[in-house]
Amino acid sequence: FSPERLIFRGNVRVDDAQMQLTSGGLDVRLSPGGTNIVSLVADGKVVMSLIEVSNQVTRVTCARAVYTGTDDMLELSGQPVVVRNTPETTNTFSADVIVLNRATGSVSALGSSRGSVQMAPSGRTNGPALPFGGKP
């Protein structure tokens, strides 16, 4: 490691107030003086739990995750899957590449993508979403 770069290899685990991460390797680049994260690259069986702006937890799995601190963007590749759970819904999203804007909470996809939403009717656990106008 150096004052502006940290490299970790083999069963990496990070616990932070905004994120929990496990991966095969992690490369962290810091601003001069080591005060801010410039970028973070996680490689190999990446699993993250992210606490979003709304305090919603998002679970991410992928082969590679690249975070850029200057714009608070997270790019996921290698069969990425994003799962967002709320008391009302479970949203699952996959694509060739997924980009999460952590500042706004928006998700965008590059290449082919798939998504699903499961809704939990009042008093029931999550199940298949009902069609528009459908009744539980």
Between residues 33 and 39, the one the model is more confident about: 39
Among all chains, which residue has been given the structure tokens 């979003």?
Answer: 52
C-alpha closest to that of 50 among 70, 67, 27, 26: 67
DSSP 8-state class, residue 129: P
* pLDDT recorded at residue 80: 96
* pLDDT recorded at residue 136: 38
**Distance from the Cα of residue 7 to its chain's centroid:** 21
Determine contact, residues 113/95, Cβ cutoff 8 Å. yes
SS3 91: strand
pLDDT average, residue stretch 70-82: 93
SS3 124: coil
Determine contact, residues 28/5, Cβ cutoff 8 Å. yes
Write the DSSP string, 37-68.
EEEEEEEEEEEEEEE-TTS-EEEEEEEEEEEE
Among all chains, which residue has been given the structure tokens 């679970």?
Answer: 59
**Distance from the Cα of residue 66 to its chain's centroid:** 10
Between residues 69 and 56, the one the model is more confident about: 69
